[in-house]
Structure 1
Amino acid sequence: MSDKRENQLSRRTFIKGAAASAGSLALLGVGIESAVALPAPKKWDEKADVVVAGGGGAGLSAAIWARKSGAKVICVEKASTSMASSTAVSAGGFAAAGTRSQKKENVQDSSDLLYKDIMSFTNNEADPAVAKMYSTQSLKAYEWLMDLGVPLVLLQHVESHSVAREHWLNAAQLMQLMEKEAGKQGVGLYLNTAATNLLVNDKGRVIGLRAKSKKGEMNIMAKKSVILASGGFAANLPLCGEFGGPEFRAVETLGGKGNVGDGLLVALRLGAATKNMYGSVVNENLAIASAANVTLPQVVWDGGILVNKDGKRFMRESRACFEMGGETILQPDRTAFIIWDSSMKKSPLTSRKLAREATLSGGPVQSGSLRELAAKLNIKPDQFEETVNKYNSNIDKNADPDFGRTTLSGTEGKPVKIAVPPFYGIQIFAKSYWTKGGLKTDDRCRALNWDNKTIPGLYAAGEIMFGNIGSKVLTMGTGVGGAVTFGMVAGENAAKEKPWTK
């Protein structure tokens, strides 16, 4: 689809979808009628060089780096804490090349190889300039997080990468440390304050932001730039359905509950262009119904298999976590099951994950036989036994003619039989984390219009512009990695803008 067609469709469809969900937006303090760029006010309540809308991973990163670059910064966040963001509740994957963590494990990597992998995995639909920028700048962003003290949980080779470069970070501590750093740097962080409008002058330049808190509305001057880091629209199911397809109208989000597309709508009304808004724009993952913030792909990558209610496998289990979610949503009743045996208890990572599951959901189902396990999980027993036996037999042959699984994850590990009782199973569902389409930007994170010209004074960072780094797929590790890296790039460049006023 050409950018011209996306322009025509996105304006009509996005606004239609937003109108359909006006009630949910109103409940979140975002009025559709007011989501239109406004002229300069007669009075400014606050003034800063750079104003950031959104206090999640991208927003805090942008605010900190703008401040480190010498700008006075105000950051507004609609929630009562930055811990309500998608970054805070994510699995914490960060893709970067040439890191200290890789060198410690003797992993040979480069920014050129990372760029090649991103373009290959996204079928060349990622913007080359933005992908190149991410490939080179993500190292700086990652090393900064390490210097802040963010814990690295695991370095892993996963689908979509040629080498081990998926750095699993403790996402909650990442957000806590960034919020602490924002305070240390002198960022003005306004919580419980929702950005509701962009303010523009008669030349079409963005000059500020209107925000609303319990105390009322305030107009915040941005002498240099406004950075939109307000997330995507995974919590707005009508919009998910409009852009992702009808199956996404009922997919619960694990990400930020405030990600309703308000920032996107404001930018579109200003003439901003979009990138990769159509198709499978929702990033799915696996979760337990009663513990919506727990993800489970590591259990699969440690040797488990996925089966549906009919007892059949339906994909190659070494694939990326969001591909697991994407395939699960297509199964009967939009559900599936992870199956493993007691031999996996030897894996420290799996044991930790299973302990979390036991705490939050009552634990996985356990049984002494496959047939009994199927009965407990309400899976068709005959087909289930046949599926597992065939899987085990193919492992002896070093083959998987049905789906081609030859590794556990990426190119690492060999599949293992599910043959040692007791056997375990847990029911999982597809949930969304974030959306992959968004505002079109250049490699400095400046928002672009449909003529590919920059919108003066407007930047975008994080999920709101993920369409530039992905398409129907998002390279693993560019979620949290993209939030922090694009925030850093946007903050540094926004601080360099010439002020429109003294």
Structure 2
Amino acid sequence: MTNRRNFLKTAITAVSGAALASSSFATPTKEPSKFDEEFDVVIVGAGGAGLSAAAHMPKGVKTLLIEKNGLVAGSSLVCDGKYSAAGTPDQAKEGIKDSDEKFVADLLKVGQGQNNLEVVKALVKALKVEYDWLTEHGIKSKYVGIASGMSVPRAHNFDPAEVLSLYQKVAKENGVEFRFNNAGHRLLWDDEKNRIGGISVNTKDGLKKIKAKYGVILTTGGFARNPELCAKYNPSIKNVKAISGSGTTGDGILMGQAYGADFLNPDVIKATYGFTPNANSIKDKSQVYYVGAIIVNKDGKRFVNESLSYKLLGDAALKQPEGKSFQLFDHDMMEKSLQTDAREKRFWGMVDQEGKTPYGYVGATIADVAKQAHIDPVALENTVKEYNKLAPKGLDPLGRKSLGSGFGKPIPLKKGPFILMPTTAVLLSTYCGLKTDPQTRVIDVYNEKIPGLYAAGEVMGGVHGAAYMTGTGFGKALAFGRVAAETVAKDKGQ
């Protein structure tokens, strides 16, 4: 029978990785006879997950947090701050009835059942625990909104910089040591104890080998900034622009794969729809389609059910002629978007006063905006007529029966001015990653835990499945960072 010990011994003693050429594994690295330094725990990556793990590490656990960039980084720093949680006081104030069961059901629905159920349940529980901790420490949500994948509003809006500053402050107060410009290189294997024993680190003074008595927590994010890995796992996104954290190059995933870590959901890596063609940050996103807008291609025809997750919308949009698509909406929908999400003001706040916006075409009629965008006016008018006639009655040929994820009913486009916004999809995250158990222990291809190895945040797989619910990326990082800290401290290297 093949087991981990035999597998790793064979890999370590192999002359090269040729025997594993058809797999994703690299050759494991044996730990040295002498380490340069020793800690109880080493956390790799100072994004949301890494900072959360550092902040929640019990006092007395000697912890090192390394980050390859020169400052706190990660996709959490550049996200929009949406944090999904169920049964919160903020929801109660708004009369929103939510529950763990409803949250789990929504996640499974949007993930099309490709999620790991037990990890999903653990996430929903951990999100509420972390929400309580954040609010107890003075972090306040600006508002609770509904977004992709939700049947009820549960996206709490935090300031990412404020959240990450809190974690960093608490972690330092608890004695966690931070080292920037230190990049994780290879995990080190303790062959005698049959576990991860440490990590080698690239520093300005060369390669250092650091012992981790309890284990290593990978919080390195995904690989949206690694074109080679994107092309390997999903060729359709290899040329899609990425605006994720600068360090998301797949380091932790590769380190885990070297020890046989299983890798989940690479086939469903997707770009997020709603961005301006020249997007540079999360602020360049508008989602009027979730308050009623329709999505059309350059031929003026609809091609997708607009109520789907913006990941699935991104898939469909990127397949259109020349990769071009537009959001089309009327004045009432514009006003609703301004009320629903304050960020929409930069896009549409000037329309009523100036009759224009740099983010789209504005016209008194459907034909007006079509001509400005070089779309056949008759084709676009016919598309709107068909939609107005059928969708509000629940008869949409493309299956739209709600505004988003079952929330709200389709409404007709009828009141000018009309707006046509060129829109595309960008890669915010890869949302796939290493398989873990609900306590963040990394699991190998034999469905066994890899002793001494943990993963939290975007580097984890199995959480989202086929698509993504707004607020569960940022939330996953913060919530599972805590879980990882608690687990590694409990396991103590066992």
| 368-377 vs 249-258, greater mean Cα deviation | 368-377
Which string of whole-angstrom CA distances, capped at 9 and with x for unpartnered residues, describes residues 54-99 of structure 1?
Answer: 1111111112112x454222111112232x4212222333222222
Deviation of 1:227 (Å): 0.3
Which string of whole-angstrom CA distances, capped at 9 and with x for unpartnered residues, describes residues 287-314 of structure 1?
Answer: 1122321353532223322111111112
Q: Which residue of 2 aligns with 1:24?
A: none
Aligned counterpart in structure 2 of residue 254 of structure 1, from 243, 248, 260: 243
Deviation of 1:482 (Å): 1.2
Q: Which residue of 2 aligns with 1:23?
A: none
Q: SS of the residue aligned with 2:70? A: coil
**TM-score (structure 2 length as normaliser):** 0.86
Map 1:258-277 to 2 at 5 A: 258-277=247-266
Q: Which residue of 1 aligns with 2:471?
A: 477
The answer (yes or no) to whether the contact 2:151–2:407 under 8 Å persists in 1 is no
The answer (yes or no) to whether the contact 1:56–1:86 under 8 Å persists in 2 is yes
Is the aligned partner of 1:453 residue 2:445? no
Structure 2: unaligned runs, 5 residues or longer? 1-19, 350-356
- Structure 1: distance between partners of 2:60 and 2:127: 22
- Structure 2: distance between partners of 1:292 and 1:14: 35
Q: Residues 57, 390 of structure 1: CA spacing in aligned structure 2 closer, same or farther, 3 A cutoff?
A: same
Map 1:311-322 to 2 at 5 A: 311-322=300-311
- Structure 1: distance between partners of 2:168 and 2:257: 29
Q: Which residue of 2 aligns with 1:421?
A: 416
Q: SS of the residue aligned with 1:167? A: strand
Q: Which residue of 2 aligns with 1:165?
A: 154
Aligned counterpart in structure 1 of residue 201 of structure 2, from 189, 192, 211: 211
Amino acid at match of 2:475: G
Deviation of 1:196 (Å): 1.0
Q: SS of the residue aligned with 1:433? A: coil
Q: Which residue of 2 aligns with 1:488?
A: 482
Q: Residues 351, 484 of structure 1: CA spacing in aligned structure 2 closer, same or farther, 3 A cutoff?
A: closer
Deviation of 1:254 (Å): 1.9
Amino acid at match of 2:70: S
Amino acid at match of 2:188: L
Map 1:383-398 to 2 at 5 A: 383-394=379-390, 398=393
Q: Which residue of 2 aligns with 1:367?
A: 363
Is the aligned partner of 1:56 residue 2:47? yes
Map 1:428-443 to 2 at 5 A: 428-443=423-438
| 119-128 vs 203-212, greater mean Cα deviation | 119-128
Q: Which residue of 1 aligns with 2:10?
A: none
Q: Residues 369, 121 of structure 1: CA spacing in aligned structure 2 closer, same or farther, 3 A cutoff?
A: closer
Which string of whole-angstrom CA distances, capped at 9 and with x for unpartnered residues, describes residues 101-128 of structure 1?
Answer: 2222232322233223333433332222
The number of residues matched between the two structures is 465
Map 1:198-237 to 2 at 5 A: 198-203=187-192, 204-237=194-227
**TM-score (structure 1 length as normaliser):** 0.85
Q: SS of the residue aligned with 2:472? A: coil
The answer (yes or no) to whether the contact 1:46–1:221 under 8 Å persists in 2 is yes
- Structure 1: distance between partners of 2:294 and 2:198: 51
Q: Which residue of 1 aligns with 2:320?
A: 331
Deviation of 1:358 (Å): 7.5
Q: Which residue of 1 aligns with 2:378?
A: 382
The answer (yes or no) to whether the contact 1:281–1:471 under 8 Å persists in 2 is no
Which string of whole-angstrom CA distances, capped at 9 and with x for unpartnered residues, describes residues 328-353 of structure 1?
Answer: 11212223111223334433346743
Q: Which residue of 2 aligns with 1:141?
A: 130
- Structure 2: distance between partners of 1:12 and 1:125: 28
Is the aligned partner of 1:110 residue 2:99? yes
- Structure 2: distance between partners of 1:354 and 1:162: 22
Q: Which residue of 2 aligns with 1:290?
A: 278
The answer (yes or no) to whether the contact 2:288–2:334 under 8 Å persists in 1 is no
Q: Residues 78, 385 of structure 1: CA spacing in aligned structure 2 closer, same or farther, 3 A cutoff?
A: same
| 192-201 vs 335-344, greater mean Cα deviation | 335-344
Aligned counterpart in structure 1 of residue 492 of structure 2, from 483, 486, 498: 498
Is the aligned partner of 1:40 residue 2:31? yes
- Structure 1: distance between partners of 2:348 and 2:171: 36
